[in-house]
Amino acid sequence: MQKMNDKISVMISQEDVEKRIDQMAEEISSDYRGKALHLICILKGSVFFTCELAKRLTVPVTIDFMSVSSYGNGTTSGEIRLAKDLDESIEGRDVLIIEDIIDSGRTLSYLLENMRSRRPASLRLCTLLDKPERRITEVEVDYTGFEIPDEFVVGYGLDYAQEYRNLPYIGVISGK
Ligand code: IMP
Ligand code: MG
């Protein structure tokens, strides 16, 4: 159900998002030249970004999906658990985790530790958006699309109560 009264203002236009994904794909393709890249898409927010990035990569690509849930009360994010595991082993593979946004960093630090224990040949991290001001747990990001201020954003896969993922730009809901 679309909330008709919500007004969305554009923070990053579709054109700018896609130009940046072009650049990121070029950089990643160059860094992984001669290798095959295994992308891990973190559901659901990263789906749109993963597709757009994957289409532009010029190295051989495989894709797997993982879903994590954070159980917390109110504003404090609680324990993070695997809701859907990968289908395939990542042992010995060149793995790139694809995230939509890094906020506190808690999800990513859980994921990185979990992935490292599976002994990939290499493990890097790529995110479309980063809110560095919000960081609680330090994480090293290898590829960042945009650093943004501490505002709640939607679109390009990101949701507010499961809505707005399909917006083709990054927006802010006014009055929220
Ligand atoms: P972290 O563990 O705090 O880094 O949480 C990251 C997750 O919180 C992301 O993968 C998103 O699902 C969600 N999130 C954080 N900030 C936003 C936002 O501005 N819009 C939509 N989802 C967000
Ligand atoms: Mg996410």
Domain parsing of the chain, residue ranges? 15-149
Nearest ligand by distance to the CA of 165:
1
Backbone conformation region of residue 119, classed left if phi is above 0, alpha if psi is from -120 to 50, else beta = left
Global pTM value? 0.93
Distance 87 CA to ligand 1 centre (A): 24
Query: What separation in angstroms does the CA of 97 have from each of 6, 24, 112, 150?
Result: 32, 14, 9, 23
Mind listing the pLDDT tens digit for each residue in 69-114?
Answer: 877 654 455 688 899 999 999 999 999 999 999 999 999 999 999 9
**Distance of alpha carbon 112 from alpha carbon 40, whole angstroms:** 11
The CATH classification number of 15-149 equals: 3.40.50.2020
Atom of ligand 1 nearest to the CA of 105: 4
- Which two three-digit tokens encode residue 87? 């289908």
| Residue 152, ligand 1, Cβ within 6 A | yes
Mean pLDDT over residues 151-174, rounded? 95
**Distance of alpha carbon 42 from alpha carbon 122, whole angstroms:** 18
Is 1 a residue whose pLDDT tops 50?
no
Mind listing the pLDDT tens digit for each residue in 5-49?
Answer: 579 999 999 999 999 999 999 999 999 999 999 999 999 999 999
Distance 55 CA to ligand 2 centre (A): 20
Query: What separation in angstroms does the CA of 37 have from each of 33, 142, 146?
Result: 9, 15, 22
